[in-house]
Structure 1
Amino acid sequence: MFSIPISVVVFFISGIFAAEIALLVCLYISYGLYRSSGRILLKWYNARKVGSLKDIYKKVGISQPYIYTFNSATPLIFSVGASGEYEILVSTGAMEMFNVSELETLLAREVGHIKNGDVYLNTTVALIAGSMIALSNVAFWISLLIGSGKENDPLPRVIRLIVMGIVAPPAALLVKLLISPSREYAADGMVEKLTGRSRMLPELLERIDNYMNLHPRQINPGHVHMFPLNTLRIRDLYDTHFSLFDSHPHLESRTNRLLEGMEYD
């Protein structure tokens, strides 16, 4: 992903030999990320395996995804993986909010992402961008541990805002350059093919959106492109960087396309 640009920069700084070494190192790191990014994100969310996806994946000829669950009140379903091995993560909040047919509809979207080849890139970008954003939380907790002030002292949040100002633009640029909003239209369109319930999907997306409006939660913005819709909400000055990470089409546009039965690319 970054091998060639980094090698070019090294070439102009240190010459051809250093550029060749940089290219080899970058390729090795890229391969390592390709093989392990899914497993790292499973550990990130402390996800546990609960079974495997039944039936619907067979209709599009992909390998059988495994289902994992993780503790979060936010109703989220998303996919990770690479090398033909994929996992679909379902939050405990989603399991409580949706019934079986509704969960199957949302799972069908994830099968669409897998079929369309979105998941590897989504996973790798989430690992890199999410790790960059995590630095702001590290700065926040370090400032608390070293005793930056008394209870409700704004300094730790100011420090996190400053660090976010440094790491958010390159992380968001990575998401914007590599993640296409059109992938959501394509995944939405797979729901009709797999379940015949394309008209149910807008309602489910609206319910998730309404939940986030009523219960905004802190979510790593570097991971949001993996989710069914934009779950970020700007509540105050400290959240201003969230607007950089929205890689989803407007929900109204997606709903109109589903309800009108438009063709999906």
Structure 2
Amino acid sequence: MLRIGLFLLTNLAVLVVAGIVLSLLGVGSYRTAGGLDLQNLLVFCAVFGFVGSFISLFISKWMAKRTMGVQLIDQPRNADEQWLVDTVVELSQKAGIKTPEIGVFPAQESNAFATGWNRNAALVAVSLGLLQRFERDEVKAVLAHEIGHVANGDMITLSLIQGVVNTFVMFFARIIGDFVDRVLLKNENGRGFGFMIATLVAEIVLGILASMIVAAFSRYREFRADHAGATLADRGAMIRALQRLQAESGAGAESQMPSSMRAFGISGGMRSLFASHPPLEARIQALRDAA
């Protein structure tokens, strides 16, 4: 229920903010008696495409803390938490960023993620299972991987890519819908039922194709973050951490994390153009080749 409530709240915020922005820009209806006003349509799609993407980015830490049950370490309570804080501080200094908030979430799967709207206001969290089963040098490599995501600006870059993709999916879907309604169905007003159906179908098809672009960048950023883990921590430890994760996933472990937060772990075992993460064996081989 919490995730559903947050989802509805986010979509409501998108509608409100987008409406305000469109009003300030003086953008009217993109559908006229003579057809589509392409300039208004492009602005309309860009506002909705980017507003949704950036609202998700700005509230990412807030949502992560609540949906994943992240327990922040403000004051270390034991030696393990003190080591975790000291390690993140050390890695952040090496990467040249402000130390992120540090947290642990109560999951037995081995996983970790980084999120936040900019490189100096991030959150890095690791699962309890990872801390319990990985060696300390492997945990350090995983943390370095997450710090790499933050230092590389992966969150903001992914949001920009998602905003562009959203914009053009909406834009071309409505052009296709108008063409179907006016030309194929001979509806002179271009506002018939055919427009809505054709636009919906086009958004689904174009959205599927566009998701390949987003997934491709996501896979690319994983290789870069692995390189950061090897550089900031230790290449051998980074490889061993991936191998340990590979062994666990081979035993049938499934990630319960939202896809947007699967930063270190695998993405449900997918190995296709839609996978957000490269195969673990490819990541391991890339680290070996770079050595």
**What TM-score do you get using the length of structure 1 for normalisation?**
0.64
Alignment of 1:150-229 (within 5 A): 175-179=211-215, 180=217, 181-195=219-233, 197-217=234-254, 219=256, 222-223=259-260, 226-229=262-265
- What SS is found at the alignment partner of 2:103? strand
Aligned counterpart, 1:258: 287
Alignment of 1:107-122 (within 5 A): 107-121=143-157
Q: Is the 8 A contact 1:221 1:232 kept in 2?
A: no
Distance 1:105 1:21 in 2: 43
Is residue 95 of structure 2 the alignment partner of residue 60 of structure 1? Answer: yes
Instruction: Return the offset for 1:223.
Output: 3.4
Matched to 1:79, the amino acid is: A
Alignment of 1:1-265 (within 5 A): 11=30, 15=37, 24=47, 28-51=51-74, 52=85, 53-83=88-118, 84-121=120-157, 175-179=211-215, 180=217, 181-195=219-233, 197-217=234-254, 219=256, 222-223=259-260, 226-233=262-269, 245-262=274-291
Instruction: Return the offset for 1:182.
Output: 1.9
- Unpaired runs of 5+ residues, structure 1, are 127-166, 235-241
Q: Is the 8 A contact 1:78 1:89 kept in 2?
A: yes
Instruction: Return the offset for 1:99.
Output: 2.8
Matched to 1:50, the amino acid is: I
Matched to 1:227, the amino acid is: A
Matched to 1:34, the amino acid is: L
Instruction: Return the offset for 1:125.
Output: 9.2
Distance 1:26 1:223 in 2: 17
Q: Is the 8 A contact 1:172 1:222 kept in 2?
A: no
Q: Is the 8 A contact 1:67 1:89 kept in 2?
A: yes
Q: Is the 8 A contact 1:172 1:244 kept in 2?
A: no
Instruction: Return the offset for 1:219.
Output: 2.8
Query: CA distance change for structure 1 residues 174 and 207 in 2, over 3 Å: closer, same or farther?
Result: farther
Q: Is the 8 A contact 2:112 2:126 kept in 1?
A: yes
Aligned counterpart, 1:142: none
Instruction: Return the offset for 1:253.
Output: 2.6
Instruction: Return the offset for 1:187.
Output: 1.3
Percentage of matched positions with identical amino acids: 20
* Count of aligned positions: 207
- What SS is found at the alignment partner of 1:246? coil
Query: CA distance change for structure 1 residues 169 and 85 in 2, over 3 Å: closer, same or farther?
Result: farther
Q: Is the 8 A contact 1:221 1:245 kept in 2?
A: no
Distance 1:61 1:185 in 2: 20
**What TM-score do you get using the length of structure 2 for normalisation?**
0.59
- What SS is found at the alignment partner of 1:68? strand
Instruction: Return the offset for 1:230.
Output: 2.0
Structure with the bigger RCO (C-alpha within 8 Å, sep 6+) is: 2
**Can you list the C-alpha shifts for 1:167-220, whole angstroms capped at 9, x where unaligned?**
99887655432241221221111223212x101212211111211221433535
- What SS is found at the alignment partner of 1:54? helix
Q: Is the 8 A contact 1:230 1:246 kept in 2?
A: no
Distance 1:221 1:170 in 2: 23
Q: Is the 8 A contact 1:57 1:64 kept in 2?
A: yes
Q: Is the 8 A contact 1:175 1:222 kept in 2?
A: no
Query: CA distance change for structure 1 residues 72 and 193 in 2, over 3 Å: closer, same or farther?
Result: same
Aligned counterpart, 2:79: none
Query: CA distance change for structure 1 residues 252 and 218 in 2, over 3 Å: closer, same or farther?
Result: closer
- What SS is found at the alignment partner of 1:56? helix
